Amino acid sequence: MLQALLVYLAVVLCFFVHYFFGNILTDRPLIVGTIVGLVLGDIKTGIILGGTFELIFLGITNAGGVVPANTALGTSCGVALAILSNLDASEALTIAVPVALLGSQLITLMYTLRAAMNPYIDKLIEKNEQRKIGVFIFVQAIVSYLIIFFPVFLVVAYGIEPVQAIIAAIPTFVTGGLSVASGMLAAVGFGMLLNLVWSKSLAVYFFVGYTLSAYFNIPVLGVAICGLLYSIILYISRNKKSSTLVMASGKEDLFND
């Protein structure tokens, strides 16, 4: 039980360091495997399995959808059980993969729940409670990591069966529905951005961006470059005009609104 708790906290710490020191990849299998090995007193197995999982999950993360498989959760469970019950790499992997997928469901849930806390931040902003916002960031992060990685504790303390039971108990339309909803939620965020930048005279450019991406399959970077180049053209042509014409008619402007 103490081992389970230590492994659990170590993995949460890896995740916390990863995020709060700038995505420095301490959540990757190679690091997590090493740390779990260190905690359980068999660092060599941890490193070897971590390296193996690193290669395997390299493929899985790239193929992932909105949320990639939670490799840290999968690796920590796999490596811990491998060390504690003497499993080999392929047996450890059969544990790691389903747990990693469960982990991505938990992350989806967490990102949704965090969004649900945004009204609280709005209230803090309204009262100019800057200190509380700072505290909130850390509390929210640590609590959500503790929830995301709770399966590690279960797996190390009680074996793989309870976690498999949990995975089987969730109806597929709930997990599926949540991941569908997670794809739609960004629409609210983009709506809020539009609310700030939108003006009637410029609205057409929103649809220019849509057309470039939807019909010409230009990625966001390409659309931004198109916008930048177009802006430069406007800027140059206006400067030319202003040096020749504008002196006469003060109102002459490309952007009359």
Of positions 170, 194, 236, 245, contacts another protein by CB under 8 A: 194
Of positions 143, 170, 185, 245, contacts another protein by CB under 8 A: 185
Nearer to another protein, 166 or 174 (CB): 174
Category of 42 on φ-ψ map: left (φ > 0), alpha (ψ -120 to 50) or beta:
beta
Q: Decide: is 186 part of the binding site for another protein (CB under 8 A).
A: yes
Nearer to another protein, 52 or 95 (CB): 52
Q: Considering the complex, what minimum distance in angstroms separates the CB of residue 139 from another protein? A: 11
Nearer to another protein, 139 or 162 (CB): 139
| Cβ contact 155:81 at 8 Å | yes
Q: Considering the complex, what minimum distance in angstroms separates the CB of residue 6 from another protein? A: 18
Helical residues (DSSP H) of the chain, grouped into ranges = 2-20, 29-39, 43-63, 71-85, 89-116, 118-126, 130-148, 150-158, 161-169, 172-197, 204-216, 220-244
Residues 211-230, mask of contacts with another protein (x by CB under 8 A): xxxxx--xxxx-xxxxxx-x
Q: Which parts of 53-72 interact with another protein (CB under 8 A)?
A: 54-55, 58, 66
Q: Which parts of 71-100 interact with another protein (CB under 8 A)?
A: none
Q: Decide: is 41 part of the binding site for another protein (CB under 8 A).
A: no
Between vectors from CA 206 to CA 201 and to CA 212, what angle results, nearest 5°? 135
CA 171 from centroid of its chain's CA atoms: 24
Q: Decide: is 135 part of the binding site for another protein (CB under 8 A).
A: no
| Cβ contact 94:100 at 8 Å | no
Q: Which parts of 1-30 interact with another protein (CB under 8 A)?
A: 19-26, 28, 30
Nearer to another protein, 51 or 159 (CB): 51
Nearer to another protein, 164 or 213 (CB): 213
Q: Considering the complex, what minimum distance in angstroms separates the CB of residue 22 from another protein? A: 4
Q: Decide: is 237 part of the binding site for another protein (CB under 8 A).
A: no
Dihedral sign for Cα 114, 116, 117, 123, please: positive
Q: What is the DSSP string of 108-176?
A: HHHHHHHHHTHHHHHHHHHTT-HHHHHHHHHHHHHHHHHHHTHHHHHHHHH-SHHHHHHHHHS-HHHHH
Q: Decide: is 170 part of the binding site for another protein (CB under 8 A).
A: no
